A and B are shown apart, each in its own frame.
Chain A
Amino acid sequence: MIITSPKRLGALALAAAFAIGACSGSSSPSPAASTAPGASAAASPGTAGPAAPSGDVSLAGAGATFPGPLYQVWVEEFAAVHPNVKIDYQAIGSGGGIKNITAQTVDFGASDAAMKDTEIAALPAGTKILHIPTALGAVVMIYNLPGVTELNLDGPAVAGIFLKTITKWNDPAIAALNSGVTLPGTDIVVLHRSDGSGTTNAFTTYLGAVSDTWKNGPGVGKDVKWPTGIGAKGNDGVAGGVKQTPGAIGYVELNYATQAALATAMLKNADGAFVAASVDGVTAAADAAAAAFPANFRAEPIINGAGANTYPIASYTYLLVYADQKDQAKGQALVSFIYWILTDGQADEAGLGYAPLPKAVSDKALAELHSITSGGTPIWP
């Protein structure tokens, strides 16, 4: 058949291009035999890391926005070391991450808050999810008071502000903590999150710990019924709102305050010292709480930890993976990626405003990696 019409030629060329593209796009995972555990010399149990993934593998992950910038950096750096592994991470929110990993539409999920019992009960029958901590973050109080460069706050004062019992900046409760600073008599404009988020979860855990009125009132959760204030969408919404509104106060994750150069308040910790939000303060909090890290890895935010340099509001962020991986090649790539995160990846965190895991916790997480199996056999024995 001789194709004479240019239109038909173009259509045929287009169809051929699509066919070729479709054929080469699908990755063929290597047969299970070649990546069987113990086959390669590097997989000696205990000391060395897991075997590197061979063949082209693509992983899809979704979840928390808070560690989003960190995970993007990690994905790029891991791709430089293992170019055959393509990882795609979508920051859609902790709730979205949990929903997707429950529905098994992604290979790994990410969440700031550990899964609740109801969420674990909703997993497919017979499956088990592992929580792998990857980094720590802090929730900081940002404020907009022209002329006030340093502000001290403590738990009851913050709770009073968000409960609307403290309405003006020069309230005695705040003035008592800030002797020598003239605070204006203007109204406090409270900013909170309008969407559900792990940041809210950590912040409300703090408020619930320092104020019984808050615990019995709005309560603790990713989304609560706020007694007062303007709601803004996302960490950047709160940061932008505080920046634009004189007399405003809000809460964001540490890296947002660092990147946007916003004035942050010093919070009083359990030892009575006023601590500025910093990576060191979070690391101190994590170190102090490392011994109390639960065996099932579902840790609560670290509130009012002991220590002179400890920052009072710190929380872990987790990767959620299934204990038994259906796809051997993907499981191999996943274990390799998480191992890299827990070892080489930790060095990236301080520069981006996240705190690295304490050694005790990362050792526990590495030990947990050994229990990831595929079809019953451990991927990294």
Chain B
Amino acid sequence: MTTLAPIGRLRGRTAPRRADVVFRGSTRVFGGAVIAALGVVAAVLVVSSAPAWTRFGVDLITQTTWDPVRDVYGALPFIVGTLYSATIALLIATPIGVLTAIFLSEFAPRRIAIPLTFTIELLAAIPSVVIGLWGVFVLSPFLRDTVDAWLIATLGWLPFFRGPSFGVGLGAAGVILAIMILPTIVSISREVLSSVPSSQREAMFALGATRWEVAVKAVLPYARSGVVGAAILGLGRALGETMAVTMVIGNGQDIPVSLFDQAQTIASKIAVSFNEASGGLQSQSLVAIGLILLVMTLLLNVAARLLVSRAQKGPAR
């Protein structure tokens, strides 16, 4: 009979206190607000671009003519330009980034690794427009006179290296983007590589492997999906980069083929045209291609997150 009283006291203590209720409620509200903000952005984009979609339908994505005088809009050159420049950036930045990450996590002594990591992350802090200015005034003339000239002379028969180079163009944009996504790839890859359990390395060393073989054959395969996730996150950033790309990409109207062609990305097109766009169909079409970019970036980011979280749970599958 006397055991009933303690049970009664216990039940009183598990009832929620008011402070906890308020705290839980307010954090739910803030969390929901963040999701709601994303939803509002997507909703506004869809609603504002609806007239353009009803007018052009799928032609907005498949046609190549963007003519404000005749009010005909097809964004295929910009979509191709976006994917092409991001791919070039990825091809340049991924090998350099992954090798740098391997160096930082496997080989570098602490007194080099820490300042080097800091410097690479500093690269991410440089404002986009400053890198764009540097690209226009320093990188483009340099590329035109040295790298591009050599590529045209030796590989000019390939369609990818055809044509005169003016410095600004798809190639310059790809190099600038590579510089901008390098910090992302390096820092995420380094974290993923560091989280590989040392038992993997020790087992490989015990078998008589060199340090390089340990890095490439034991550590990297274990963290493979994490490194791929880092690359995809870098790709996501490259897709959305605006100011630096606008300044160096040359703003051409056609689908780019060669690295030295002038091109445009979705982000650069919106940046240059939105201010002066006449309020009707032109603005709506610009919002529509913005929606396309948002969808592309969201899908890529979701894929990257899934890959990175899988890597941190265990070995690559």
A327 proximal to B (CB < 8 A): no
Asked whether A194 and B275 contact (CB < 8 A) given A231-B262, A244-B141, the answer is no
Cβ-defined contact, B253 with A225, below 8 A:
yes
A106 to chain B, nearest CB (A): 14
Chain B: number of interface residues, binned into ranges: 20 to 34
Cβ-defined contact, B276 with A222, below 8 A:
yes
Give chain A residues whose Cβ lies under 8 Å from the Cβ of B68.
Answer: 196, 221-225
Cβ-defined contact, A96 with B251, below 8 A:
no
Per the bound structure, the CA–CA distance linking A194 and B247 in Å amounts to: 10
Per the bound structure, the CA–CA distance linking A119 and B251 in Å amounts to: 27
Per the bound structure, the CA–CA distance linking A221 and B273 in Å amounts to: 13
A111 to chain B, nearest CB (A): 10
Best-surrounded residue of B137, B141, B168, B280 (most CB of chain A within 10 A)? B168
Per the bound structure, the CA–CA distance linking A93 and B137 in Å amounts to: 25
Give chain A residues whose Cβ lies under 8 Å from the Cβ of B246.
Answer: 194, 233
Per the bound structure, the CA–CA distance linking A268 and B184 in Å amounts to: 55
Give chain B residues whose Cβ lies under 8 Å from the Cβ of A225.
Answer: 65-69, 253
Cβ-defined contact, B272 with A245, below 8 A:
no
Best-surrounded residue of B251, B252, B277, B280 (most CB of chain A within 10 A)? B251
Asked whether A187 and B164 contact (CB < 8 A) given A94-B276, A225-B69, A240-B136, the answer is yes
**Cβ 8 A contact of B276, one of A122, A197, A218, A237:** A197
Give chain A residues whose Cβ lies under 8 Å from the Cβ of B28.
Answer: none
Best-surrounded residue of A122, A194, A221, A231 (most CB of chain B within 10 A)? A194
A226 proximal to B (CB < 8 A): yes
Within 8 A of B (CB), among A62-121: 92-96, 99, 102, 116, 118-119
Cβ-defined contact, A223 with B141, below 8 A:
no
Within 8 A of B (CB), among A180-212: 187, 189, 194-197
A230 proximal to B (CB < 8 A): yes
Cβ-defined contact, B275 with A196, below 8 A:
yes
Within 8 A of A (CB), among B49-76: 65-70
Give chain A residues whose Cβ lies under 8 Å from the Cβ of B251.
Answer: 194, 230-233
Give chain A residues whose Cβ lies under 8 Å from the Cβ of B247.
Answer: 233, 237
Give chain A residues whose Cβ lies under 8 Å from the Cβ of B252.
Answer: 230-231
B166 proximal to A (CB < 8 A): yes
Give chain B residues whose Cβ lies under 8 Å from the Cβ of A93.
Answer: 275-276
A219 proximal to B (CB < 8 A): yes
Cβ-defined contact, B141 with A96, below 8 A:
no
Cβ-defined contact, A219 with B70, below 8 A:
yes
Give chain B residues whose Cβ lies under 8 Å from the Cβ of A229.
Answer: 262
Give chain A residues whose Cβ lies under 8 Å from the Cβ of B278.
Answer: 95, 116, 118-119, 222
Per the bound structure, the CA–CA distance linking A158 and B134 in Å amounts to: 32
Give chain A residues whose Cβ lies under 8 Å from the Cβ of B282.
Answer: 223
A320 proximal to B (CB < 8 A): no
Give chain B residues whose Cβ lies under 8 Å from the Cβ of A244.
Answer: 137, 140-141, 167
Per the bound structure, the CA–CA distance linking A102 and B272 in Å amounts to: 21
B12 proximal to A (CB < 8 A): no
Within 8 A of A (CB), among B124-143: 136-137, 140-141
B1 to chain A, nearest CB (A): 54
Within 8 A of A (CB), among B192-244: none
**Cβ 8 A contact of A223, one of B164, B262, B276:** B276
Cβ-defined contact, B276 with A196, below 8 A:
yes
B279 proximal to A (CB < 8 A): yes
Per the bound structure, the CA–CA distance linking A240 and B167 in Å amounts to: 13
Give chain B residues whose Cβ lies under 8 Å from the Cβ of A119.
Answer: 278-279
Closest 9 CB pairs of A and B: A231-B251, A196-B276, A95-B276, A194-B251, A219-B69, A195-B272, A221-B69, A93-B275, A223-B68
> Given known contacts A219-B70, A244-B141, what 7 new A-B pairs fall within 8 Å (CB)?
A119-B278, A187-B164, A223-B68, A231-B250, A233-B246, A237-B247, A240-B136
Show 6 residue pairs from A and B whose CB-CB distance is below 8 angstroms, ordered by the A residue.
A118-B278, A222-B278, A223-B276, A223-B277, A231-B252, A233-B251
